[in-house]
Amino acid sequence: MKHESVETNAGLLVILTLAVISIGGLVEIVPLFYIDDTIEEVEGVRPYTPLEQRGRDIYLREGCYTCHSQMVRPFRDEMLRYGHYSLAAESQFDHPFQWGSKRTGPDLARVGGKYSNEWQVQHLIKPTSLVPESIMPGYPWLASTPLDFSDVEDRMIALKRVGVPYSINQQELEANVERFGEETAAMLDINQAEDNLIAQAQQENFDGDPSFISEMDAIVAYLQVLGTMVDFNEYSEGEFADFR
């Protein structure tokens, strides 16, 4: 069959296109029926605390995702630069997840703990003061804007409805104690959301100003937790190959 005959016959072109799409779809879908799970079995992954979650909300509000991905792909050059490739398990509580390949700025999947709180604050206020070649805009108002957490419980309830295991009753709290440990479970209790948010912000003092809780506190808390939940030193090379 000549290629020209396919291009000039609309009906045949549609049929062949559908056939190719169907084959490609089957190749992607069929293997899913022969594996137990697509989420890797790892220790340490938990939902975000109220403060971290509000920071993530601000991250999305400011459009940070348009220039920064949060997905280290399983390629040698990416792993040398950023660390272990991203796992599905690390994003299982993200709604929406921040995977992608758009990188005007570097990937942030493993940025947690890479820099100090002070560095993150200064970088957000004036990026060029630390990275002269940066084209990232500054976000100085984050440091002077009080964090609104009056609706943090409602936000957590909304996430709970789509599967994030925040607790709202004693039974769910006990389940989280067994799954995440007592300290983490307490931070995931919707009934104590405001108190937990205030306590974490005051204890960690992410923005360097203990006089009030700012939006900077929240977004730095979020950035500092990215990629820190899984200790990859505990897993051997190729540990997660069965989930890919």
Tell me the whole-structure pTM to 2 decimals: 0.85
Distance CA 93, CA 176 (A): 14
Element (H, E) at 120: helix 117-125
Domain assignment of residue 114, yes or no: yes
What is the reported pLDDT for 92?
Answer: 93
What is the reported pLDDT for 242?
Answer: 61
Distance CA 182, CA 184 (A): 6
19 and 71, same domain (yes or no):
no
User: Does residue 244 have a pLDDT over 70?
Assistant: no
What is the reported pLDDT for 203?
Answer: 96
CATH at 163: 1.10.760.10
What is the reported pLDDT for 2?
Answer: 74
Distance CA 67, CA 31 (A): 33
Residue 77 · residue 38 · CB < 8 Å: no
User: Does residue 155 have a pLDDT over 60?
Assistant: yes
Tokens, residue 243: 């989930």
19 and 67, same domain (yes or no):
no
Give residue 12's pLDDT band: very low, low, confident or very high (50, 70, 90): confident
User: Does residue 192 have a pLDDT over 90?
Assistant: yes
Q: Tell me how many domains the chain contains.
A: 2
Domain region containing 131: 50-232
Residues in the chain: 244
What is the reported pLDDT for 1?
Answer: 63
Tell me the percentage of the chain whose pLDDT exceeds 70.
97
125 and 208, same domain (yes or no):
yes
